[in-house]
Amino acid sequence: MKSRMFAGIPLALMLMVFAAQTAPAKGNDELWEMTQKMEGMDMPQLPPGMSMPGMSPTRTCTPKGKTAPPGKKDCKVLEQNQSGDTLKFKVSCPDGLMEGQVTRTSDTMKGKFTMTSKGRKPMTMVMSGKKVGTCDAGEEKKKNDQNMGNIKRQIAQAQAEGAAQTDKTCREQLDMGFYYNYMDAKAPCAKYRKNFCQSITTDTGYTRLVDVTSHPESVPSFQKKMTFNEVANACGQKNLTQNVCGNSLAGQKYGFLKKYCPAESAREKKRAEKVCARWQVTSEHFSKKDYNLCSAYAGGGGNNEDDSGESAPPPSRPAKAAKSSAKHSAKQAGQDAAIDTGTDAAKHALKGLLGF
């Protein structure tokens, strides 16, 4: 990336180094073969003291006798001094400051250029060249402009496709808790900040935000780290936990309550102790809400998010109730047996009296 950025500025300013390498047309201008070498770039893979290898030779066509760097729309020539065959100059551009000098004879050229940009290590290009023939600079410029137009269109298309993909990803990851992609004004998904803030009011978005803010080491080093409360406050959701837990309580999402809403869960557990005590003495069918409550806190159930609305049968009755029921059944069976025995005795007595 650095090499392309650096090359883009000097090549537009240096004597005759242009991007396109097309076959030169015949003419009275000069065809040069140039060799360039970069120095001062950060290349971790190279041993200390070594520089980047030289680039492959390129051929370029320049107007005959051209000795000064061509101007650039957003650059300004600060200094330009000619002394014999050597030209020294200093040019200021939005991307940085370039200083250099070129020494040229009728058929040779050599130069050195240093580019200094804010926050970057200075980079230097050393170039040398020789004249190898003639060409038509005007015709070459037309070809270069056409090629540059094609390149710009390709870049614009790639940027549009990249922006579309980024936009798609931003929308797909709204409930993933990646606040750092949305909260900062310069973040890639900043335009979806309101959508993200809305997403954290849902169970899924809330859960993911808790997870991401609980592991700050997972946040990219170049992104600003925020705590859960900082994100909630920035979204205007100072009562985020209270609101989300309230919604989950209303929806009887007990699995969520147990994990993220301890206060609400404790109250529901206490309420369950009263409601579910009826299982000890009755076999009545509970309402859907009571059944969900008792399943979560008395029967070891889960979220109980079934929304069929039908009355559900109670779980297996506790052992005490079962024992009481068995005792009652045995007593009833004894009473029934006694009645049967009495009935048989009465029949025998009546038979004796009547003689049959």
Q: Are residues 6 and 133 in the same domain?
A: yes
Structure tokens at 89: 């100059």
Residues forming beta bridges with residue 102, ordered by sequence position: 87, 111
Mean confidence (pLDDT) of the chain: 76
Instruction: Let me know if residue 117 belongs to a domain.
Output: yes
Q: Are residues 115 and 183 in the same domain?
A: no
Structure tokens at 90: 């200093």
Instruction: Let me know if residue 59 belongs to a domain.
Output: yes
User: In the listed set 88, 109, 137, which residue is the last one of a domain according to the structure?
Assistant: 137
Instruction: Let me know if residue 93 belongs to a domain.
Output: yes
User: In the listed set 89, 117, 137, which residue is the last one of a domain according to the structure?
Assistant: 137
Q: What total number of domains does the chain contain?
A: 2
- Which string of b and e fits 275-287 if b means at least 16 CB within 10 Å? bbeebeeeeeebe
Q: Are residues 99 and 30 in the same domain?
A: yes
Q: Are residues 124 and 13 in the same domain?
A: yes
How far apart (Å, rounded) are the C-alpha atoms in residues 191 and 163? 12
Least confident piece of the model among 11-20, 102-111, 232-241, 273-282: 11-20
With a CB cutoff of 8 Å and minimum separation 6, the contacts of 181 are 170, 173, 187, 188, 189
Q: Are residues 227 and 125 in the same domain?
A: no
Please state, in angstroms and as integers, the Cα–Cα distance from residue 209 to each residue in 57, 215, 260, 284, following that order.
54, 10, 12, 42
Instruction: Let me know if residue 33 belongs to a domain.
Output: yes
Indicate the DSSP class of residue 200.
T
Instruction: Let me know if residue 107 belongs to a domain.
Output: yes
Instruction: Let me know if residue 190 belongs to a domain.
Output: yes
Give the residue with greater pLDDT, 309 vs 209: 209
CB 175 within 8 A of CB 244: no
Structure tokens at 151: 């390149």
Q: Place 76 in a pLDDT band, splitting at 50, 70 and 90.
A: confident
Exposed (0-12), middle (13-18) or buried (19+): which is 27, by Cβ within 10 Å? middle
Instruction: Let me know if residue 227 belongs to a domain.
Output: yes
Q: Are residues 33 and 117 in the same domain?
A: yes
Instruction: Let me know if residue 122 belongs to a domain.
Output: yes
User: In the listed set 182, 205, 238, which residue is the last one of a domain according to the structure?
Assistant: 238
Q: Are residues 22 and 118 in the same domain?
A: yes
pLDDT score for 41: 56
Q: Are residues 111 and 22 in the same domain?
A: yes
Q: Are residues 108 and 61 in the same domain?
A: yes
Confirm whether pTM is higher than 0.85: no
CB 82 within 8 A of CB 99: no
Q: Which residue segment(s) compose the domain that 191 sits in?
A: 173-238
Q: Are residues 24 and 103 in the same domain?
A: yes
Average pLDDT of the residues in 299-314: 42
Residues forming beta bridges with residue 31, ordered by sequence position: 61, 133
Q: How many Cβ atoms sit within 10 Å of the Cβ of residue 255? A: 17
Choose among 263, 33, 10, 194: nearest CA to 129: 33
Give the tens place of pLDDT for each residue, 132-142. 998 988 888 88
Is residue 320 pLDDT above 50, yes or no?
A: no
Q: Are residues 180 and 132 in the same domain?
A: no
Q: Are residues 9 and 133 in the same domain?
A: yes
